[in-house]
């Protein structure tokens, strides 16, 4: 992810969110959810299978684990260019079947347990496959979504409306006390409030790994996330109103990380951390600079 990508992210997110709001407002809710269910359901099967694979592949015997099926390359005229041949292992097929059955079960009974299972799978795969690249990009992204969350929750009814109408595993559900009518309401935590801070926390972990764990910025970042999320829950219950979680999570995560860095005298080091591979042009410039120093 580049700095420009991070700057555009809140704008693209706002466009998608407002589009969903308009769809739910002017179109039949059942139609919108049916269309989104078909789209997200297909993704959910792949995501859940991917989340299961690292934990359960080793349970298959070696004679089965390495068996695979190769599908030939194909293309759709005017839509998709020719693809590379695709190889799928037997464990992946098994996980795919299990995931498909689980998703069907979820879409039939809408169980909160199934919803949260799929939500956690989306979160794990999102954190695993998304990379900020540098601390600077992470700060830009977090600050942009900090403002995004405040605007759409406090200044408009859009965020709450979409979250309550969107019947898909894009949020975690937590049961609350039974109300006066005997119904059990649910508190919601959007997956964005997990994945976006999560990829920054993961970045801090990789920075610790790169330094041989001479520092523990992962612990500071993770502790800040727990502090921010806990603050969200407390304030939500005190005021009995929806709260933008990133309003509390972003300052807590960044505050804990840079307070830790200030104590160690490593603010510049943390701020300039970059794990993206250098481009060829940058490497050539670096080599020329080294040669000039040697001469």
Which candidate in 5, 58, 149, 208 is catalytic? 149
Find, among 243, 245, 103, 112, the residue nearest to 186 by Cα. Answer: 112
Active site annotation includes 149: yes
Q: Write down the catalytic residue from 58, 167, 193, 208.
A: 193
Task: Name, in order, each residue with C-beta under 8 angstroms of 86's C-beta and a sequence gap of 6 or more.
Answer: 70, 71
Chain position carrying tokens 């998703």: 103
Instruction: Give the burial string for 1-20 (b: 16+ CB within 10 Å, else e).
Output: beeeebeebbeebeeebeeb
Neighbours of 57 (CB within 10 A): 14
* Tokens (6 digits) for 37: 């269910």
Separation of alpha carbons 184 and 90, rounded Å: 42
Dihedral angle sign, alpha carbons of residues 240, 244, 245, 250: negative
Among 218, 223, 193, 221, CA closest to 208: 218
In the annotation, is 193 catalytic?
yes
Residues ≥6 apart with Cβ < 8 Å to 58: 65
Beta strand extents in the chain (DSSP E only): 68-71, 86-89, 171-175, 186-190
Whole-angstrom Cα distance, residue 226 to residue 223? 5
| Catalytically active residues, by annotation | 149, 193
């Amino acid at each position: 992810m580049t700095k420009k990508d991070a700057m555009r992210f809140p704008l693209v997110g706002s466009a998608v969110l407002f589009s969903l709001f308009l769809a739910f407002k002017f179109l039949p809710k059942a139609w919108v959810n049916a269309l989104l269910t078909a789209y997200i359901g297909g993704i959910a099967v792949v995501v859940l299978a991917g989340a299961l694979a690292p934990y359960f592949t080793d349970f298959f015997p070696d004679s089965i684990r390495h068996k695979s099926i190769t599908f030939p390359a194909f293309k759709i005229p005017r839509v998709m260019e020719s693809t590379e041949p695709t190889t799928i292992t037997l464990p992946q097929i098994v996980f795919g079947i299990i995931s498909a059955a689980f998703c069907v079960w979820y879409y039939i009974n809408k169980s909160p347990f199934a919803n949260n299972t799929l939500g956690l799978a989306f979160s794990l795969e999102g954190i695993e496959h998304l990379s900020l690249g540098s601390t600077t990009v992470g700060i830009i992204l977090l600050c942009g979504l900090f403002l995004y969350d405040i605007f759409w929750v406090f200044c408009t009814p859009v965020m709450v409306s979409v979250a309550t109408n969107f019947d898909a595993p894009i949020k975690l559900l937590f049961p609350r006390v039974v109300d006066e009518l005997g119904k059990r309401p649910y508190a919601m935590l959007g997956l964005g409030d997990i994945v976006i801070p999560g990829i920054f926390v993961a970045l801090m972990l990789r920075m610790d790994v790169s330094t041989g764990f001479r520092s523990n910025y992962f612990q500071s970042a993770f502790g800040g996330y727990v502090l921010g999320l806990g603050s969200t829950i407390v304030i939500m219950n005190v005021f009995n109103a929806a709260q933008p979680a990133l309003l509390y999570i972003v300052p807590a995560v960044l505050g804990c990380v840079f307070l830790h860095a200030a104590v160690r005298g490593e603010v510049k080091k943390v701020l300039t951390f970059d794990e993206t591979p250098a481009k060829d042009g940058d490497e050539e410039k670096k080599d020329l600079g080294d040669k000039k120093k040697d001469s």
